[in-house]
Structure 1
Amino acid sequence: MGVTAFTFLLVPLCLLWAMRPDRLLKLMIIAQVFEAAAALTIGTLGVQPGLLPALTFMGFVLMQLLLGARFPGDRQTWRLVRPFVCVAVWALATSYLMPRLFEGQAYVWPQKEIPPFVTEPLRPTSSNINQDIYLALDCGLVVLGACFFTKSRLRLLPFLRIYFLSGLVVAAIAVWQFASKVAGVPYPNDLFYSNPGWAILTTQSFGSVPRINATFSEPAALAGYMASIVCASGWVMLQGHRDTLVRLAFIAGLGTIALSTSTTGFATLAIIAVGVPIYALLSGSARMVAMVLKVGVPVFVLLGLAFFAGDTLVPRFNSSVSQVVNASLDKQHSTSYNDRTDTDADSLTAAVETYGLGTGWGSNRSSSLVPGILASIGIPGLLGLLWFGAGVTRAVRRARRCSASSEQMIVLDGCCGGLFAFILTALISGPTISSVTFYFLLSLLIGCAVRTELDARPVLPDAVRRVAVPA
């Protein structure tokens, strides 16, 4: 077991705040943005920084439950997360059964690709066990986190604000890396890219334009995270909430996606930019349409001013922008696009060859979310996730009708926006959603929805409760 700089930072903080679960969650959100770093190294594997405070938090909550503590929304939370737990149990079962049941009968793309990059016959591997561990941790965080967030005296808005603050941290580091690539400013590569389990892509460029990945393993991962920041903060603003931190996060997210030059990030923003006005028009809400104009017009004006200032102050600005635009538009003719398409097609073929049951969790790596789910956990797993999503959606709608407080509404809106962006980017180019932040937002959304419903229930005096009402 090896140590890194993050070990000396996170371990003392986790020990110091071992009895403060709220601080552990906030530490987890900040630490998780350093995705390409490692808090500990075990051989060729690296423990992501966010996992240390996450494990400490889950240990604390489990200990409380074992000692008899109960949270106000235990039952309601369990009803919502039960489909997700069922999917997780199914995935863990498939990781053992399917590689043995269909061994050699299907071809998969391995999780750890080693040249030559080709498909391999299905068989049990260590990747099944590794992915099982991550899945169990993510599932535990959702269940225990959602229960914790139903505590009656716990303020939920600070947790969402830490999430927005993490976006500003990422944006600052992205600007730092850009200055390093353009002007030679010192940049601590060894600190931010210490995870031996990741393939770190820091030398990519579009012609003379460097691509930025900040604290993530590749530009697409950076763009995916910042797209969630943009979508969460943008949706909060469209709902009429006013907050300086939210505005800063929105602007920083847009700028960071531009620095990343990620086609995935640009595609996500394009879909959101087209989908939100359509949604506002179809909703028939004059207030929503007005808010879209109120937010959208200044954004376009600022973008225009930014391009004008760049053209005036920065040499070769137009040529650099043209290189990025042309590279993004020609992505469909690139080798990487063809490889991704072939990977998804092979994943769907593997799902068919296993009769829709999947090759087992951790056996196959696709290029986008739906083929990855079908290839790994099959049609039963996909249906279970849809069941889970429908249940959470109904719970959020009920919570919004319960006269939630302004803080609760901001949390609901911010979580919905962030989760939507995570799912959208994964649908475009992501085999799974591995970010701990996604599962944190999911637990926060479920906990807030349950707590909103609990707060809306009338509290009857004890004397009224004891009155028997005849049938």
Structure 2
Amino acid sequence: MIPTYIGLIQLLFGTLLLVGGSSRHCVWFLLVSAMFGGSAAIQLPALGGSSIPPVQFALLFVMARLVIPGSGNASQVVTALRENVFLCIFVIYGVFMAFIGPRLFHGSIDVTPLRNEVSQMIYYTEPLRPSSQNITTSVYLIGVAVVAVAMTVLCRLRGGAEALVKSGVVVGWLHALTGMVEVATRGSPVGIVFQSLRNGSYQQLSQSVGGVARMNGLFPEPSAYAAFAFGLFVFMAECWYRSVLPKRTGSAAIVLFIALIASTASTGYLGLAAYAIFFLCRAVVFSRLANAKRVNEAGIAFIIGAIIIAAMLAALPSYVDTASHVLDQMVFSKADTVSGKQRWFWMAQGVDAMLASGGLGIGPGSFRSSSLLTAILGSMGIVGILSIVAYALWVFRPARQSTWGNSTDLQANLSGACGTAALLSVIPALFTAASPVPDFIFGVLAGASLALRPHFRMSPASSRRQVRQDVAPTTF
């Protein structure tokens, strides 16, 4: 193991966290570390050049802080494990199959390795075999479960839920601004700084389309940048919709929306389109529970945005062709490009792997996919799909009023925002994920939602209720 300078800085802050950190500090440490999606805290040359990303390294210190003797959180951790049981089943089975699958089905199917060193061959495959990526992917899977459990505990401690929202606002702004600055300074000394920060064992891509630079920020590629931005955007938008620090969360949602539009990442556009459909359908189907003020504000913002875009295009006609070319390449013609064909091929591998393994899966890390759904199918089979779907429904709670509406209970509103954002945050991964590991932001929001979700039955009087005594009241 070789620590990087980013890992050494984290080691310093992590040590301070162990000495005297609070739940607020833990949440901030995790969210800020997650911004460095293309970085490495520790290099692992013995595992084929893999690395430990900053957020996974930060998680070690956070969990140590929660279970350190004398912290008094043992019962909370046990409760959090029980409430995240479906995710734990998903992860345990995944880790088991990561070691058993590629050995059990060794050579029975040809697959594209997760770490593909011959990417110039778009349909490259080789016989299935165990690799270091099985170990790496298992570690990432465990990390998702650990972060969900940690957030369930942290958001039950005083100040944890407040820190989640406030750190989400700050990280959202920073993520959007770093993307814009990185594009504006690409090729300059400032751009070199961004390249040095992206020191992870990922293929660093600085792309352009139609002469327009695509946003990477601190992430290895535009699609990863857009996926993280989308998860934060939905979280901020849902908090704004439910009047959770609406001025701060609303402004963060706007700047993240601008970053997603400017990123030219097709996954970001698909995510925004899906969220717009969800937002509209929710307002129509659950009109009695809808926040009329926020719906009206969203409509006004949409009209103003459309007018501004139309005015800009009218004033700068030379950009009309460029914008239409970018939109056509990144959305409408994406499937006909080499990248699009390659992604469809990778996606189909998941279905082939599930069938070849008789529904058991060939193990996480055994092949490269391009969709979270088919990655889970091929890696973990029926057990993986059933457990993650059960967990998603357990987090989202579609039968709860707090999932669809707004109330005077701040804790219920924040819980509903987290649960909704957790579910919707996986939309980009459905089109881009190379492995069956859900995004970090999914684990954060899912764990927070379970921590804050009060137990109540839907009724007209449900907006005024008592929260369980083991949950710290959410007050900002």
The normalised TM-score by structure 2 is 0.86
Structure 1's 163 and 217: CA in aligned 2 closer, same or farther, altered over 3 A? same
Q: Is the 8 A contact 2:140 2:437 kept in 1?
A: no
Aligned partner (choices 121, 124, 135) of residue 141 of structure 2 = 135
Q: Does 1:217 align with 2:217?
A: no
Matched residue, 1:420: 423
Match of 1:447 among 437, 445, 451: 451
Q: Give runs of aligned pairs for residues 284-363 of structure 1, distance below 5 A.
A: 284-285=287-288, 287-288=290-291, 291-309=294-312, 312=315, 316-328=318-330, 329-363=332-366
- Counterpart CA distance in 2 for 1:219 and 1:265 is 9
Shift of 1:146: 1.4
The AA in structure 1 aligned to 2:137 is Q
Q: Is it true that 1:79 corresponds to 2:82 in the alignment?
A: yes
Residue aligning to 1:17: 17
Residues 388/10 of structure 1: CA separation in 2 closer, same or farther (3 Å cut): same
Q: Read off the aligned partner of 1:34 and give its amino acid letter.
A: F
Deviates more, 1:320-329 or 1:254-263: 320-329
What corresponds to 2:473 in structure 1?
Answer: none
Name which one, 1 or 2, has greater alpha-carbon Rg: 1
SS at match of 2:51: strand
2:51 aligned to 43, 46, 58, which one? Answer: 46
Change (3 A) 1:450 1:52: farther
Does the CA-based 8 Å contact 1:18-1:24 persist in structure 2?
no
Residue 171 of structure 2 corresponds to residue 160 of structure 1: no
Is the partner of 1:359 in helix, strand or coil?
coil
Tell me the amino acid that sits aligned with residue 45 of structure 1: S
Distance 2:4 2:79 in 1: 41
Give the partner amino acid of 2:203: A
> Which ranges of structure 1 fall in alignment gaps of 5 or more residues?
460-471
Change in CA separation of 1:340 and 1:125 when aligned onto 2, cut-off 3 Å: same
Q: Give 1:397's match in structure 2, choosing from 396, 400, 413.
A: 400
Native 8 Å contact 2:403 2:420 kept in 1:
no
Choose 287-296 or 205-214, whichever is displaced more. 287-296
Query: Closer, same or farther in 2 for the Cα pair 1:360/1:8, shift >3 Å?
Result: closer
Q: 1:413: how far off?
A: 3.6
Per-residue CA deviation, residues 159-186 of structure 1 (Å, 9 max, x unaligned), is 22202211100111111112114x9573
Asked whether the equivalents of residues 110 and 127 of structure 2 are also in contact (C-alpha less than 8 Å), the reply is yes
Q: Kindly state the Cα deviation for residue 54 of structure 1 after the two structures are TM-superposed.
A: 1.2
- Shift in CA distance, 315/177, structure 1 to aligned 2, threshold 3 Å: farther
1:33–1:215: 8 Å Cα contact kept in structure 2? yes
Shift of the alpha carbon at 1:33?
Answer: 0.8
Q: Deviations over 1:416-439 (max 9, x none)?
A: 343133211111222344543332
Distance verdict in 2 for CA 1:341–1:298, change over 3 Å: same
Match of 1:267 among 270, 279, 298: 270
1:73-152 matches, within 5 Å, as 76-115=79-118, 116=121, 118-151=124-157
Following superposition of structure 1 onto structure 2, how do residues 191-230 of structure 1 map, counting pairs within 5 Å?
A: 191-195=196-200, 197-202=201-206, 204-230=207-233
The structural deviation recorded for 1:70 is 4.0
Contact 2:91 2:141 survives alignment (8 Å): yes
Verify the 8 A CA contact 1:71 1:150 in the aligned structure 2. no
Segments of structure 2 that go 5 or more residues without pairing to the other structure are: 458-464, 471-476
CA-atom RMSD, angstroms? 2.9
Instruction: State the secondary structure of the residue aligned to 2:426.
Output: helix
Contact map agreement 1:370 1:427 (CA 8 A) in 2: yes
Distance in 1 between residues matched to 2:68 and 2:456, nearest whole Å: 26
Query: Quick check: 297-306 or 126-135, which moved more?
Result: 297-306
| Residues 167 and 322 (structure 1), Cα distance of their counterparts in 2 relative to 1, 3 Å cut | same
- 12-21 or 378-387, which deviates more: 12-21
Q: Which amino acid aligns with 2:447?
A: S
The one-letter amino acid of 1:26's match is: W
Check conservation: 2:76, 2:153, Cα contact below 8 A: yes
Tell me how far 1:36 sits from its aligned partner.
0.6
1:388 — aligned with what? 391
What per-residue deviation string (whole Å, max 9, x for no partner) do you get for residues 318-346 of structure 1?
23212211212211211111111111112
Partner of 2:467: 456
Q: Secondary structure at the match of 1:252?
A: helix
Change (3 A) 1:171 1:154: closer
1:469 matched to which residue of 2? none
Farther off after superposition, 281-290 or 449-458: 449-458
Match of 1:46, SS? strand
What one-letter code is carried by the residue in structure 1 that aligns with 2:153? Answer: C
CA distance in 1, matches of 2:399, 2:152: 13
Evaluate the alpha carbon distance shift between residue 60 and residue 282 of structure 1 in structure 2; reply closer, same or farther with a 3 A threshold: same
- Structure 1 residues 399 and 233: alpha-carbon distance in aligned structure 2, compared to 1, 3 A threshold: closer
1:29 alignment counterpart = 31
Structure 1 residues 434 and 191: CA distance shift in structure 2, 3 A: farther
Take 1:428 and 1:290, find their aligned partners in 2: how far apart are those partners?
33
Matches of 1:58 and 1:85 in 2, distance apart? 16
Q: In the TM superposition, what is the alpha-carbon distance from 1:154 to its structure 2 partner?
A: 3.7
The answer to whether the Cα contact below 8 Å between 2:27 and 2:163 also exists between their aligned partners in 1 is no
Post-superposition shift, 1:293? 3.0
Partner of 1:170: 175
Match in the other structure for 2:461:
none
Encode CA deviations 1:336-357: one digit per residue, 9 max, x unaligned: 1111111111220111011111
CA distance in 1: counterparts of 2:64 and 2:333, whole angstroms: 48
Query: Contact 2:50 / 2:136 at 8 angstroms: preserved in 1?
Result: no
Offset of residue 75 of structure 1: 6.1
Q: Deviations over 1:78-130 (max 9, x none)?
A: 43211211221111111122212211112222110011451222221111111
Query: For residues 289 and 144 of structure 2, what CA distance do their matches in structure 1 show?
Result: 40
Query: What code does the residue aligned with 2:18 have?
Result: A
Structure 1: distance between partners of 2:106 and 2:345: 22
Supply the distance in 2 between the matched residues of 1:94 and 1:458 (Cα, whole angstroms).
Answer: 40
Relative distance call for 1:31 and 1:78 in structure 2 (3 A) is closer
What secondary structure, in the 3-state scheme, does the structure 2 residue paired with 1:301 have? helix
